[in-house]
Amino acid sequence: MRKRLGAAIAAISTALLLLAPGAQASTEAGWNCTANGSKAGWTLLATPQEPLPVSPLVKESPGVIVGWVVRVGPGLGQFAQQLGVFRESGGGQYTKVAESAVETFPEGFTQYPARIPVQKGDLLGLHGPTETLYCHVGPSALFEGGIAVGETKAFVTEGAFKPPVSAVVEGDLDGDGYGDQSQDGCPTSALFQTECPIVALDIDAVEVRHRAILVEVGVNSETSVEALGEVRWTVRPKARGGAKPSSKGRRVRVGLSAPARTVLPGTTAVLRVPLPRSVRQRLDRLAPQRALRARIDVKGTNLVPYVGTQELKVELPGRAQPQPPR
């Protein structure tokens, strides 16, 4: 392009805007009692019959379990346990929708990391391949034997046994299956778990032609780029009968725009901003030493979505032809 950036632009300003809201705080689900016994073959469900500081129900939707805990009392160390996530199916039945890896818990408090998507209202369960730990409080919700993911079972409600399991649950704003606070560096986009890419616009050149302004744009990530702006001038009334013309005039404002184009990193695109007929006619009446000023906002929106904007101020020289001497 013939006219470089510095020759055509009077000023540039840059702004960045994140469109989506931030991540929500984590909560805890399950039961925070301490195991004081074990039973071979049981699957225990953390049902919400009794109010406790920790809600047995998951509250986030969508959410992600990012860690889970089993509290083990004296004399019960080194039992392998597996967390299960259950969803009510009606009629006292529950479907197992997810599970963790099998982990071994010593005496005391031990937390293991996880990444298990959940929904509001899901319940936690616990099963041990050999022995299932329990705390002796009630009422119970248990099943004799193990349950595979996808199976639906009716739980027995007799006795006083609870699973000593709880989990840290984080919100999942973009629904990508990663906890927004500790696992997702870009909680506003399911395409990224690392840091969100911020839009960086590179205005390579600007050229003023007879019918349009051409703006060459490069980007740092896949971005939809568009241009919006305006040209303003004042039309002053002509003097009549030898009187001085009035200092007041009519303000004229004409919009400019170029449709959005998708630009890939490592490439450039030329946005063609047409000059409306009224602008061209005004320029045809201006002497070359005079000019109109066009203000153009080049806006890029990437997949996060982040918005980056650069403001261009472009001089449009007059085009009136000099009159021949008489």
Radius of gyration of the chain (CA): 34
Residues whose CB is less than 8 angstroms from the CB of residue 234 and which lie 6 or more positions away in sequence, other chains included: 249, 250, 251, 252
Q: Of the ranges 30-34, 138-142, 164-168, 310-314, which is most confident?
A: 164-168
Q: What is the mean pLDDT of residues 243-249?
A: 65
Q: What is the mean pLDDT of residues 141-161?
A: 89
Residue 252 is encoded by which pair of tokens?
């004229």
How confident is the model at residue 8, as a pLDDT? 44
How confident is the model at residue 49, as a pLDDT? 59
Residues whose CB is less than 8 angstroms from the CB of residue 92 and which lie 6 or more positions away in sequence, other chains included: 154, 155, 157
Flag the least confident range among 201-205, 224-228, 304-308. 304-308
Q: Inform me whether the pLDDT recorded for 190 exceeds 50.
A: yes
Flag the least confident range among 40-49, 137-146, 238-247. 238-247
Q: What is the mean pLDDT of residues 117-136?
A: 93
Task: Quote the DSSP letter at residue 284.
Answer: H
Kindly report the average pLDDT of the chain as a whole number.
85
Q: Domains for the chain: give ranges and CATH numbers.
A: 5-20+194-317 (2.60.40), 27-171 (2.60.120)
Residues whose CB is less than 8 angstroms from the CB of residue 110 and which lie 6 or more positions away in sequence, other chains included: 69, 70, 72, 103
Residues of the chain above pLDDT 90, percent? 54
Q: Inform me whether the pLDDT recorded for 13 exceeds 60.
A: no
Confidence of residue 40 (pLDDT cuts 50, 70, 90): very high
- Cβ-contact 127, 43 below 8 angstroms: yes
Residue 217's closest CA among 199, 204, 198? Answer: 204
Q: Which residue has better confidence, 245 or 71? A: 71
Task: Quote the DSSP letter at residue 299.
Answer: E
How confident is the model at residue 42, as a pLDDT? 92
- Cβ-contact 81, 133 below 8 angstroms: yes
Q: Inform me whether the pLDDT recorded for 113 exceeds 70.
A: yes
- Cβ-contact 171, 63 below 8 angstroms: yes
Q: Inform me whether the pLDDT recorded for 248 exceeds 80.
A: no
How confident is the model at residue 119, as a pLDDT? 92
Is the omega angle on the peptide bond into residue 237 within 30 degrees of 0, that is, cis?
no
